Structure 1
């Protein structure tokens, strides 16, 4: 396998924006996706596993042998919380065209062992990462998280001998002085702050894609229009530019309904009038095209674990008050690369090109 191809494991809690991350992970040419684990978060662990399976089928991942490995149903210490206000009660509210939750093909996407028992996230991660690493003779794996970090924290704790097989942890979550589900805490970190601290303390490079950046990746009406139909609208028809065209394929219709529901949620809850942010897709974009992130900086990052008003806050030591002279990626060093800016135009060009490629392989279009 070429060195330009990145081997990844993807951990998600679908979730509308998680679905777009799955689509990119399956269809970007320089990403080799080993498998998908799911966790509590945007919806219950039952729904997130089923939703991931539905997305794998819709986006052409079944033909690649990608399976879903259900994981943690609750945080390490806290009570589980979900976000139906943003994602609907099942995590993919309003999305049309996906396979039904009880479709036999969907259920077949859940990984099973030889006895027909479900293979859980920890076992799936360990098996695939160990086989890929081959005790140092193979390739390291980038582990990507789009939800609460519970599965990753458990993997680090249960399989410490495999931590060396991880190239980096890339996670969407946190904020620099910004929150979205409390005054200072972002939802993924707020759901399981203790797990996030374990990941940040692991002796592996961590990359944080905070909401400061994801809030710039807005699916505007123009991008939504290009998503529905790749054909340009002639300037001679100005009235049509104020409305959305019909979807040119069933896949594009499904993605459009996903964006529309997400847009309505973000408008009513957060006042986003120009469109919804495509948070989780940026994790895959970072792995595939790190050059899109035009400014990054390595900092000491910790998670507030006990504050009455601040639990879940990612504390980014911008001014180096900790004075971390340790160059390691462990608990005493500058442990996290924090992304700070994004080439939004190029990101959406890549995203829309990936949709066009997915059009050629999606079973939704058959």
Structure 2
């Protein structure tokens, strides 16, 4: 049975790859997209989702919801066009969307409609998700599962030495989600940094022809990563592997641990994610723990990603 997924995204290239993956997958039914600020301003994120839905012939079939424009820290967000392009689509510039976007509270209707069948996957900033917990905590706890891309546990961050971008951009929102969410899974940089898609994989996806958008997007993305690290073999698809986690739990190794986030307004530690692994501490039964993915099987990721993106089987036959 296909899993119903509501995606919260701050449209960038890896968010877009996740959206394309969901369209091609036979395991995921995308029921809505919440377009947030993050990699690009919200207005451009909305425009990019509309462009993509049009390219996939899904326009008017999936609600596109306007999410948050600024973080709960009351700061002006920083955007990353050098990584993702002006609209989060690499070299593609669709222009601003001038039509009507779905009201934020369309999220309520979707949760009420699908209830415990619904999985929320948050691959961008956590501001919109936190707002839902502030306003509708009881309703949010009817959701089947929540997966989020964020954090870095004992590995380098990608904004500061210790902080990952989604947690760093709005640590207050992260703390709200960690405090109130149940059945939450965190997919941090520990995993996503290693979900590498190589140029050879991209070329084969292009050859198979299921999506003509993948190559221009990933070539642009790889250009950034290659310039930053000449030794890198490809581009990490942080958001695609997070979406995949919603239907591929068996790829990962998880631990259930208490998680803390540093909410200070500045400094190297802002947004740092800390998991308490002290073996001699007896946590209270009421202590909130969350499931964290610390590793994954790359071969399994490779096979399942390529299966969906090419329509061809890459699974190894069991001997």
TM-score w.r.t. structure 2 length? 0.89
| Counterparts in 2 of 1:161 and 1:252: CA distance versus 1, 3 Å | closer
The alignment of Structure 1 onto Structure 2 pairs a total of residues equal to 309
Contact kept in structure 2, 1:38 and 1:52, CA below 8 Å: yes
Q: What's 1:119 paired with?
A: 102
Deviation at 1:215, TM superposition (A): 1.4
CA offsets 1:41-88 (integer angstroms, 9 cap, x no match): 00101111111122222234337x112101100001142121122112
Contact kept in structure 1, 2:90 and 2:216, CA below 8 Å: no
Matched residues in 2 for 1:323 and 1:84: separation? 46
Deviation at 1:125, TM superposition (A): 0.9
Contact kept in structure 2, 1:53 and 1:67, CA below 8 Å: no
Deviation at 1:270, TM superposition (A): 4.7
Q: What's 1:59 paired with?
A: 56
Matched residues in 2 for 1:320 and 1:74: separation? 39
Contact kept in structure 1, 2:206 and 2:212, CA below 8 Å: yes
State whether structure 2 residue 17 is matched by structure 1 residue 20: yes
**Larger gyration radius, structure 1 or structure 2:** 1
State whether structure 2 residue 95 is matched by structure 1 residue 101: yes
User: Is the partner of 1:51 in helix, strand or coil?
Assistant: helix
Matched residues in 2 for 1:56 and 1:174: separation? 29
Deviation at 1:357, TM superposition (A): 4.9
CA offsets 1:24-56 (integer angstroms, 9 cap, x no match): 222321212210001110010111111112222
CA offsets 1:235-294 (integer angstroms, 9 cap, x no match): xxxxxxxxxxxxxx4x6442111111101111223555211101100121111211122x
Matched residues in 1 for 2:293 and 2:139: separation? 26
Q: What's 2:145 paired with?
A: 168
State whether structure 2 residue 301 is matched by structure 1 residue 347: yes
TM-score w.r.t. structure 1 length? 0.78
Counterparts of residues 218-297 of structure 1 (less than 5 Å): 218-230=196-208, 249=209, 252-271=211-230, 273-293=232-252, 295-297=253-255
User: Is the partner of 1:91 in helix, strand or coil?
Assistant: coil
Contact kept in structure 1, 2:202 and 2:214, CA below 8 Å: no
CA offsets 1:130-168 (integer angstroms, 9 cap, x no match): 1222xxxxx342111110000000011111230221122
2:161 aligned to 180, 183, 207, which one? 183
Matched residues in 2 for 1:322 and 1:180: separation? 30
Q: Please list every run of 5 or more consecutive structure 2 residues that lacks an aligned counterpart in the other structure.
A: 313-319
Matched residues in 1 for 2:304 and 2:98: separation? 31
Matched residues in 1 for 2:279 and 2:52: separation? 42
User: Is the partner of 1:166 in helix, strand or coil?
Assistant: coil
1:151 aligned to 128, 131, 148, which one? 128
| Counterparts in 2 of 1:270 and 1:149: CA distance versus 1, 3 Å | farther
